[in-house]
Amino acid sequence: MPYRFSCSSGNCQFMVRSSSADEVERLVRAHVRMTHGSRIAPADLEREVERIELA
């Protein structure tokens, strides 16, 4: 099942989709660290990563 994350920080347009939850988490952590200069809490990451059902 694919996973998706869209950054909700201000006007940020970052969005990632992957069939791997681990890959999404890795890319989101790198994005938040490099773009926003901070870290994302595990609970926030888990809450904001969406599972997508394909039709």
Compute φ and ψ for 15, nearest 5 degrees. Answer: -150, 140
Q: Which domain holds residue 30?
A: 3-51
What pTM was computed for the model? Answer: 0.87
Instruction: Determine the Cα–Cα distance for residues 29 and 16; give it in Å rounded to an integer.
Output: 12
Instruction: Determine the Cα–Cα distance for residues 20 and 39; give it in Å rounded to an integer.
Output: 21
Q: What is the pLDDT of residue 14?
A: 96
Instruction: Determine the Cα–Cα distance for residues 35 and 21; give it in Å rounded to an integer.
Output: 21
Q: What is the pLDDT of residue 54?
A: 77
Walk along the chain (55 residues) and give the pLDDT tens digit of each residue.
799 999 988 899 999 999 999 999 999 999 999 999 999 999 999 999 999 987 7
Instruction: Determine the Cα–Cα distance for residues 18 and 51; give it in Å rounded to an integer.
Output: 10
Number of domains forming the structure of the chain: 1
